[in-house]
Each structure stands twice: as structure tokens, then as C-alpha cells.
Amino acid sequence: MPVTFTQHTLEKLEILLKAIDYKVRYEKGNFKTGACLLEAHKVIVVNKFSNLESKINALAEILQNMEADEALFDEKQKQFYYLLKQTTLKL
């Protein structure tokens, strides 16, 4: 099942990141990609001028490439996280 590009999906990604203590901020900047990850501070800065699909792709890609402590997720969040790990994003 592919990830849908809706506001609800973006919110689910933000909730997953919040559960593992990452802050998501939307700011303007000279990003070549949709987001910038500041690992030392657990902050993800997303280009606020990106379209919804780009924002979702950026956050999903970051989540796919990190090893999250799944114990911090509830059951629905775990299911969504596993779905993300198995999904190939169209960038």
C-alpha cells in the first residue's frame, strides 16, 4: 500500500518524529531538498515553500533512513512506521 500525499499523512509523519523526540520546523531557506536534518539537536527543518508531496517525501525519507526506537510508538504508529520502511518513494 503506497503512502498517500495528504495533509493527514504529513501529520502522521510529524507525530512519528515527535514520538522519537524530533522537532519538525517549517522555515524558508535555500534548501536544495525538502528538508534539513540537524541530528545533534534532533531538529528537522522543512522548506515551508515546498509542496505537500515534497514535504511528505522529505520526512518519510528521513524516517526510512533512521533507526527509531519502536518502543516509543503505539500500535498504529508502528504499523505506519513499518509501512514507511517497506515503501519506495517516488522522488
The residue segments making up the domain with residue 65 are 7-86
Residue 2's pLDDT is: 66
Query: How far is it, in rounded angstroms, from Cα 65 to Cα 80?
Result: 15
Digit-coded pLDDT (tens) for 53-90 = 999 999 999 999 988 999 999 999 999 999 998 876 65
81 lies in some domain: yes
The pLDDT of 43-53, averaged and rounded, is: 92
67 lies in some domain: yes
The total number of structural domains that make up the chain:
1
Query: Has residue 19 got a pLDDT over 80?
Result: yes
2 lies in some domain: no
DSSP secondary structure letter of residue 66: S
The pLDDT of 15-43, averaged and rounded, is: 86
91 lies in some domain: no
38 lies in some domain: yes
Residue 34's pLDDT is: 74
